[in-house]
Amino acid sequence: MDGLLLIRDQGYDHKKGIFLQMTFQPYFYRDFEIKLLQNKLLLSLNNFDANLSIMKKILFHITLLLLIMSTVKSQPNLSPADSSKMGWWKDAKFGMFIHWGVYSVPAGTYDGKQVPGIGEWIMNRAKIPVNKYKPYAGQFNPAKYNPEAWVKMAKDAGMKYIVITSKHHDGFALFNSTVTDWDVVDATPYGKDLLKPLVEACHKQGMRIGFYYSQAQDWNHPGGAASGGHWDKAQDGDMDVYLDRIAVPQVNEILSNYGKIDILWWDTPQDMTPARAEKFLPLLKLHPGLITNNRLGGGFKGDTETPEQFVPSTGFPGRNWEACMTMNDTWGYKSFDTNWKSTTTIIRNLAEIVSKGGNFLLNVGPTSLGEIPKPSIDRLTQVGRWLKINKESIYETTASPFAYLSYGRCTRKNQKLYLHVFDYPVNGELRVPMTNKIKKAYLLAAPAKILVVKAEVNRSLIRLPVKAPDKINTVVVVEFEGEPVISPSPMVGRQAIASSQKSESEGSKNLLDGNRLTRWTAADDQRKATIEVDFKKPIPISTFIVDEPWHPWDQKKQNLTLQYKAGADWKTIFNITTAGIGYVENFKPVTAQYFRLTVENKETAPTLLEWQMYGPE
C-alpha cells in the first residue's frame, strides 16, 4: 500500500541536543518509507534524552502516523523524473571534480613513511586508528581558499559544472552538519562551511554545482562500511543505525541548505543492500531535477554510468556516462605525486570521451591551505586555450557515427562532423569513410580557408596543410548532406565462436553486441580459452580493441594473443598482457579470412566485455 503521509521531521540536532521542528507537508510515501520513519522515531525515543514536552510530541506523531497508515487510501507511485533534466548535462561535456578534506594534511605520508595508493584513502591504506586520524583536523586550515577564483578557473578551462566532495570515506564533512562534530566547522581551526561560498560562486558565475557524498564507507562514524573491513574497534557498530543517524540526515542537509544542487555523486556502495539504498529514496523524490550516478548500490542504476580512470572503447549505448579521471595518480592531494598527465593526454581524452557520447569529469586535489596545485592550474589553462578555439567541436555535440578512426576521433553536430586529428597523416590526406556528399571542409581554427575534397568509392579524401596546425588535436570540420552512410564494422553480423563459455547469458555473442554491460566468460574451471571469427572472405585488419570488466586499482591482468590463419597455419600478430581495463593495438594491415584470439587469465576464468577489429579507412 502507498499512503499520503503529512508528517516530515527535520531530524535531531546533535550539537544542541534537541529535536528540530516537525512540520506538516504533503508527500506520497511508500510502505518502506513509512517503516523507515517509524524506526527513526523509535530510535529517537530509545537513544536520546529529551524533555517531557518533546517526548509527548514524538508520541503524538507516532500515533498520528499509525492512524494515517490505517486509514489513508492507496495512491499511485510517483512517476520517474523527466529525462529532460539531463539536457544541460549532455550539452556540457566537461566538468571539474574536487577531492578535498582532512586527508590533504598528511598528504600521503603517515608515521614518517610515504603510503602507497591514492591520497584520500590514506586512513584505510595505512590503517590509521580513529583517535590518531582525527587530530589531522586541527591542522586543516584552508585560509587561502578562494571559491570565486576556483569557479573562474574552471570556467576559463571550459568546464561547465563542478562536483566537490561534501564527505569522503573518512567521514569528514566540508559543511556544518547537525548530526556530528566531525566536520569543518566544529573540528578545524578554520571553523567555516566550505560548501556554501562555492555554491554561491557557482550560482553567481553560471556554473552548475554538484556534491559527492560517500553514503556507505565512513571510517570514523561507528557502523560505517570500510573496504577490507574495520581495523579499529571504534569503527564497529550497526550500519543501518549509521545510515539512519548520519548518512541519510547529512544527504538531507546538503540537498536542503544550499539552494539548487544539480548533481549528487554517490561512491563505493560497500555493503549497500536494496533496503539500505531505499533509505535515501524519499530525499531524492524531493529533488526530481537532481542527477544521480550508478554508485548508490542496491541495484539502483541512477542516471549515469561512471567509468573511472579509463575510457570504455564502446561507451555505454543507451546510457548516459561520465568518465572521471585524475591529472596525476591521486584524487586527494599527495605532496609527492608528480606523475602529471600531459595537456596533450587531457585534451585527447576529452575528445575521445565526447566522441563516444560521454562527459569528462577531471579532478583537482587542493592542499590543506586551500590551494589548487600549480601543475593542475597550468594544465587547466592550456586546456582552456584549446577549447576557446575548438569549443564548437565539443559542446552540444553527439557521438561519432564512425565506429573507429585510426587517426583520431569524431564528434557531430547536425550536418557537421568534427574530425579530431591526433595522428596527422604523413601524405597530407585525411580519409573520411562515408559515401555522403561533402559540401565543404575546413579547419575549425581557420574556417575561411576551404580544404580540397576528393570523392572516392565509399570514402572521401581531404587535402590538409603540409604541417599540422595543432600538434595536440587539429580539428577538421566536414559539412555534409543527409544522414551518414558508413561501411559497417567488419565484425558486424559475424559470429564469435568460443572454445568455452560459462553460460548462455555470458556467451561469446556478447563480445560483438556493442554493449559493455554484457560479457563473455569462459567456464569457471578454465584459465585459457580461444575465440574465432570467420569473415567469410579475406579482408584487411589493422586495429584490435577489447574491453575488460575491471578498474585500474583492481590490478587484474590477462594475456592476449591475436592470430590469423594462413593456409593451415595460425600466425601470431601480437602477444600482450593487459592491465584489466581493455586494450587497443594498431598494426600493419593483415589480410585474412580467419582470426583467432586466445585469452589467458591465471587467477580466474577468462572474460571480455567487447572485441572489435577494424581495417584501414
Residues 209 and 349 both lie in one domain: yes
Q: How many CA atoms lie within 13 A of 439 on its CB side?
A: 7
Enclosing domain of residue 29: 3-71
**Which residue in the block uniquely carries the three cell numbers 591529472?**
327
Residue 491 lies in a domain: no
The confidence score (pLDDT) of residue 36 equals: 39
Q: Is the pLDDT of residue 39 over 80?
A: no
Last residue of a domain, one of 332, 364, 393: 393
If asked whether residues 192 and 242 sit together in one domain, one would say yes
Answer whether residue 52 is part of any domain: yes
- Say if residue 305 is in the same domain as residue 385: yes
Per-chain mean pLDDT for the chain: 89
Same domain? 115 vs 9: no
CA distances in angstroms from 365 to 99, 285, 332, 552, 574, listed in the order given: 5, 32, 5, 19, 39
Q: What whole-number distance in Å separates Cα of residue 244 and Cα of residue 250? A: 10
| CATH number for position 109 | 3.20.20.80
286-331 confidence digits (pLDDT tens): 999 999 999 999 999 999 999 999 999 888 988 999 999 999 999 9
Give, for 608, the enclosing helix (H) or strand (E): strand 607-608
Query: In terms of domains, do 476 and 514 share one?
Result: no
**Based on the domain organization, do 474 and 522 belong to the same domain?**
no
**Do β-strands 496-498 and 446-450 pair in parallel, antiparallel, or remain unpaired?**
unpaired
pLDDT at 552: 85
Same domain, 250 and 388: yes
* Shared domain check, 361 and 431: no
Number of structural domains found in the chain: 4
> What confidence score (pLDDT) does residue 70 get?
36
Overall size of the chain counted in residues: 617
Answer yes or no: do 386 and 452 share one domain: no
Strands (E), 505-606: 520-521, 528-547, 559-566, 569-577, 583-600
Q: Please check whether residue 134 lies inside any domain of the structure.
A: yes
Whole-number Å distance between alpha carbons of 487 and 508: 24
Q: What is the pLDDT of residue 14?
A: 42
- Whether 342 and 412 map to the same domain: the answer is no
**SS3 track for 113-137:** EECCCCHHHHHHHCCCCHHHHHHHH
Q: How many CB atoms lie within 10 A of CB 205?
A: 12
Q: Are residues 168 and 275 in the same domain?
A: yes
Residues 348, 366, 257, 293, Cα dihedral to 10° = 30
- 144-148, 413-417, 456-460: the lowest-pLDDT one: 456-460
Among the three residues 423, 453, 480, which one is the final residue of a domain in this structure? Answer: 480
pLDDT band at 210 (very low <50, low <70, confident <90, very high): very high
Tell me, yes or no, whether 276 and 165 share the same domain.
yes
Among 519, 424, 516, 532, smallest CA distance to 468 is for: 424
pTM for the structure as a whole: 0.86
